[in-house]
Amino acid sequence: MSDKTPSPDILNDLISAALKAGADAAEAVSAHRASLSVGVRNGALEDVEREEARDLGLRVFIGRRQATVSASDLSDATRARLVERAVAMAKLAPEDPYAALAPQDRLAAAPHADLDLYDPAERSAEALEAAAAEAEAAALAVSGVSKSEGGHASWSASEWRLVTSHGFDGRHRGSAFSLGVGVIAEKDGAMERGGESRAVRHLSDLPDAASIGLKAGERAVARVGPRKIASTTAPVIFENRVATQVLSPLLGAISGPSIARGSSFLKDKLNQSVLPTGVDLIDDPFRPRGLGSTPFDDEGVAVERREIVRDGVLTTWLLNTASAAQLSLQTTGHASRGLAGPSGVSPHNLHLTPGEGDLDALMAQAGTGLLITSMFGPSLNGNTGDWSAGVSGFWFENGQRAYPVSEVTVAGNLIELYARLQRAGDLEFRGSFNSPSLLFDKVAIAGK
C-alpha cells in the first residue's frame, strides 16, 4: 500500500481544534484502505472492484456527554465542520455516566514486537483473475461437478491510527489475500452446493488455487443425494470448520455490555466451570500473521494473551472502557470500534485447545450419529442459553460416514452442551477464531 495516510498532524490538529471548541477530551481516528477484488464465472471475467478510501473519525466528550462524527473528505474546511458538528452534538447529547476515554494507566505504552501483519506485495487484476480462474477450473474438473457459482480473489491493505487528547498515539497496518470458489454438483437431477475459501495476511501463506478448487469440488460432490432422517437424540459432531459457530454464543455471553445489561446465560458463571476440565479457550492478540492480531485495542488500551477459559473455568469478561466502568472493573483491552460511534467489544485471535486424535477417531468414539459440516439460521435465547440451528452434513454408523443428510435441526441448552464437549486434535489456524472438531454425546435432532 502506498503511503497515502493523513499527515502526522491531521489527527493532532483535530484534537486541538476540538478542545479549543469546547470539548473536555477527544479522540481522532484515521483509516486508509486499498483493495482490489476480481470475480470469474466459467473462466470469464465477471467483475472487478477497486477501492481506495481515506476516512477520519472524531469522538468528543463534554463532561459525560459524547458525540462521534466521520468524514471521507480530508480538506481543511471539512475538518473544521467535523469539529464544529461534533462539539455541537455533544452539547445536546444525553449524559452517559460511563462515557470517557480509556484510563491513562491502561494505555499501550509501547508497540509490541512486530506481529508481521503486513505484506507489501500487491496482486494485479490479471494475477487475481488468473488465480480465481485456476481455482474454478480445478473445482469444475472434479467428476460430478456440473456448474460454477464463480471464483473470487482479492487483495487488500489497510492502516489504522488512533490519537487521543490524553497522550495516546498508535498505528498499525495489515494486509489480506483471499481466494475462493463455489460450485454445484448434480446427480439424478439433485443439486448440492460446495465451496472453499481462504484468507491470509501474507500471499505466501495462501494455499495454491488448484488445491482450493479441488476441495470445493469434492465438498459439493460429497453432499449430493442427501437423505432426511427421523427425529432422534444422538451424538453430534461439529467439523472443525464450523465448530466455532456453536462456540460463538459463549463470546456474546461474556461480553461486558451483555453482563452489564444482565442479559447473558453466563452472567453468574465467572470463576466457575463452563467447559470440561482440561479445556482452555485462549485469546492471543500477538499471534504472528494472525487475522485478529493487534498491538492495542480500538481505545488504545494494552492487549495481552488471556486464557478466557482455563481448565474449564471462565476467568474473565470481555470488557471495553464503558462496560468495565459499569461493572466497576478494569477494561481487558477488547474494545472494538469503527470510525463513528462508541466502542463495542470483540476478541482478537481465539482458539480452543485441541484434544487428541483426528475427526475419524472422534466418529469412531461416538459410533453412530450426525457429523455437521454446514450450519445456517442459528437461534439463541440469550438469557437461558437455549439454542438451535439448521444443519446439514453426514450420518455416520460404526464410526464411518454412511450418507449425506440435510433439512435437519439440532437443539439444546448451551450450558449443558458446553459441559459435555469433547475435542478432536484437528485444530487448524484458518481465521481469527479456530476450534478442533467437537463431539457432544447427546443432542436433540429434528428431522422429518
Domain assignment of residue 192, given as a range: 125-223
**Tell me, what CATH number does 145's domain have?**
3.30.2290.10
Domain membership of residue 112 (yes or no) is no
Residue 212 has a pLDDT of 97
Q: What's the CA gap between 408 and 447, in Å, rounded?
A: 5
Instruction: Give backbone dihedrals phi and psi of 412, rounded to 5 degrees, phi first.
Output: 175, 175
Q: Are strands 438-446 and 400-413 parallel, antiparallel or unpaired?
A: antiparallel
Q: What's the CA gap between 403 and 394, in Å, rounded?
A: 6
* CA triple 105-111-116, angle to 5 deg: 145
Domain membership of residue 62 (yes or no) is yes
Of the three residues 223, 254, 279, the one that is the final residue of a domain is: 223
Reply yes or no on whether the pLDDT at 139 is more than 60: yes
Say if residue 130 is in the same domain as residue 238.
no
Domain membership of residue 39 (yes or no) is no
Say if residue 416 is in the same domain as residue 325.
yes
Domain membership of residue 318 (yes or no) is yes
Residue 184: what residue type?
Answer: I
Mean pLDDT of 162-168: 93
Q: At what angle do helices 125-140 and 209-222 cross, to 10 degrees?
A: 40
Say if residue 193 is in the same domain as residue 296.
no
Mean pLDDT of 227-247: 95
257-308 per-position pLDDT tens digit: 999 999 999 999 999 999 999 999 999 999 999 999 999 999 999 999 999 9
Domain membership of residue 41 (yes or no) is no
| C-alpha gyration radius of the chain | 24
Reply yes or no on whether the pLDDT at 8 is more than 70: no
Cell of 47: 467483475
Distance from the first to the final alpha carbon of the chain:
53
Q: What is the pTM of this model?
A: 0.91
Reply yes or no on whether the pLDDT at 426 is more than 70: yes
Domain membership of residue 234 (yes or no) is yes
Say if residue 335 is in the same domain as residue 376.
yes
Say if residue 316 is in the same domain as residue 426.
yes
Cell of 85: 458538528
Say if residue 352 is in the same domain as residue 290.
yes
Question: Cβ-count burial of 431 within 10 angstroms (0-12 exposed, 13-18 middle, 19+ buried)?
Answer: middle
Say if residue 215 is in the same domain as residue 279.
no
User: What b/e readout covers 212-231, taking b as 16+ CB neighbours within 10 angstroms?
Assistant: bbbbbbbbbbbbbebeebee
Sign of the dihedral defined by the CA atoms of residues 197, 203, 206, 207, in that order: positive
Say if residue 398 is in the same domain as residue 285.
yes
> In the chain, what percentage of residues exceed pLDDT 90?
90
The structural domain count of the chain equals 3
Residue 3 has a pLDDT of 46
Of the three residues 195, 223, 251, the one that is the final residue of a domain is: 223
Of the three residues 155, 189, 223, the one that is the final residue of a domain is: 223
Domain membership of residue 119 (yes or no) is no
Reply yes or no on whether the pLDDT at 5 is more than 90: no
Reply yes or no on whether the pLDDT at 216 is more than 90: yes
Which residue's C-alpha cell is 508481521? Answer: 116
DSSP single-letter state for residue 356: S
Say if residue 246 is in the same domain as residue 292.
yes
Could you tell me if 32 and 171 are in contact, meaning their C-beta atoms sit under 8 angstroms apart?
no
Residues ≥6 apart with Cβ < 8 Å to 406: 223, 226, 227, 228, 392
In order of 22, 140, 180, 210, the CA distances from 177 in angstroms are: 44, 23, 11, 16
Reply yes or no on whether the pLDDT at 337 is more than 80: yes
69-123 per-position pLDDT tens digit: 999 888 889 899 999 999 999 999 999 999 999 999 999 987 667 899 999 999 9
Say if residue 408 is in the same domain as residue 286.
yes
